[in-house]
């Protein structure tokens, strides 16, 4: 790992140590879990890895349908929240590990389902993380990724906004990028689904930790985009509040 990658990992830990509790409580983060599970197709014999699992929202939900789930995340505070969530639901088929996504600390072909949600925009080399996810997936197993995907024409402005809100953001996936990576990596039976995560501006800012004064800049930027959609988030006013939407793509495929 070079110095830049190490510093970026430290930035992720710094940001998400602060965000651990509020992140888990943002209503939008529980939305569309049904879509994700439908794409993943979990069954009772699956052994699942949730990469960059955060506070365990996906891992705890999918654990109800499979043999076992392991969640890995680089931020200890997130793993702490995941363990609390597991205890609250009384789930026993989960385990957790503090660690990075690149490289993943698992043997080749360890899991039958490897999944991640809302993490790829934090990785310096997202393609390398995909290769790691494929490596630890068994032949015949599935790889599933859900994240923000934007057209090239809007992704640059979106990235500027998100880096201000969360300095650990690297870049959003561009339209068609994941499909190309999946195809180049030899994955088959590729399928996709799309949904939006609707969030209220002030609630999102309360769950974020931008730099001093940047919260005001973010308010102005997002409010000014209402009706124009330069940022690609459909900013709009609803009953006196500003709402916007993160456009999410879920891509699932099989390792041959």
Chain-centre distance for alpha carbon 206: 19
pLDDT digits (tens, 9 = 90+) for 171-198: 999 999 999 999 999 999 999 999 999 9
**C-alpha atoms less than 13 angstroms from C-alpha of 217 in its C-beta half-sphere:** 11
> Domain 3-152+167-197+247-254 - what CATH class?
alpha beta
Instruction: Return the pLDDT at 180.
Output: 98
| Res 146 pLDDT > 80 | yes
Sign of CA dihedral 228, 173, 210, 26: positive
pTM of the model: 0.94
pLDDT (tens digit per residue) in 12-67: 877 777 665 656 566 655 668 999 999 999 999 999 999 999 999 999 999 999 99
Report the chain's C-alpha Rg in angstroms.
18
- What digits encode the pLDDT tens for the residues 200-240? 999 899 888 888 999 999 999 999 999 999 999 999 999 99
In the chain, where do the E strands start and end?
47-51, 68-73, 94-98, 111-117, 137-150, 173-174, 188-200, 236-238, 241-254
pLDDT number for residue 21 = 60
Q: For 55-97, write each residue's pLDDT tens digit.
A: 999 999 999 999 999 999 999 999 999 999 999 999 999 999 9
103 pLDDT band, cuts 50/70/90, is very high
Mean pLDDT of 94-110: 98
Q: What integer pLDDT is reported at residue 6 of this predicted model?
A: 82
- In the numeric block, the tokens 């939900």 are attached to 61
Per-residue pLDDT band at 159 (split at 50, 70, 90): very high
Confidence of residue 8 (pLDDT cuts 50, 70, 90): confident
Arithmetic mean of pLDDT, 162-168: 94
Task: Give pLDDT, residue 47.
Answer: 98
- Closest of 126, 130, 156 to residue 143, by C-alpha: 130
Q: Region 93-113: what's the mean pLDDT?
A: 98
pLDDT band at 246 (very low <50, low <70, confident <90, very high): very high
pLDDT at 196: 94
Domain layout of the chain by residue ranges: 3-152+167-197+247-254
**pLDDT (0 to 100) of residue 25:** 60
């Amino acid at each position: 790992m070079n110095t830049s990658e190490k510093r970026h990992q430290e930035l992720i830990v710094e940001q998400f140590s602060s965000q651990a509790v509020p992140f888990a409580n943002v209503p939008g983060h529980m939305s569309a879990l049904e879509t994700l599970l439908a794409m993943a197709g979990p069954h009772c014999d699956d052994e699942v890895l949730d990469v960059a699992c955060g506070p365990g929202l996906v891992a705890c939900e999918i654990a109800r349908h499979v043999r076992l789930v392991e969640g890995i995340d680089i931020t200890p505070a997130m793993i702490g929240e995941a363990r609390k969530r597991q205890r609250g639901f009384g789930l026993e088929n989960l385990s957790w590990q503090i660690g990075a996504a690149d490289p993943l600390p698992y043997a080749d072909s360890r899991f039958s389902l490897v999944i991640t949600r809302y993490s790829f925009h934090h990785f310096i080399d997202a393609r390398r993380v995909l290769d790691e996810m494929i490596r630890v997936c068994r032949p015949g197993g599935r790889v599933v990724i859900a994240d923000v995907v934007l057209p090239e024409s809007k992704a640059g402005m979106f990235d500027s906004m998100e880096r201000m809100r969360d300095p650990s953001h690297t870049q959003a996936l561009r339209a068609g990028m994941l499909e190309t990576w999946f195809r180049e990596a030899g994955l088959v039976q590729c399928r996709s689904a799309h949904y939006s995560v609707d969030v209220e501006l002030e609630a999102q800012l309360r769950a974020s930790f931008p730099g001093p004064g940047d919260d005001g800049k973010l308010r102005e930027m997002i409010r000014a985009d209402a009706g124009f959609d330069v940022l690609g988030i459909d900013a709009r006013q609803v009953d006196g509040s500003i709402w916007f939407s993160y456009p999410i793509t879920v891509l699932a495929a099989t390792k041959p």
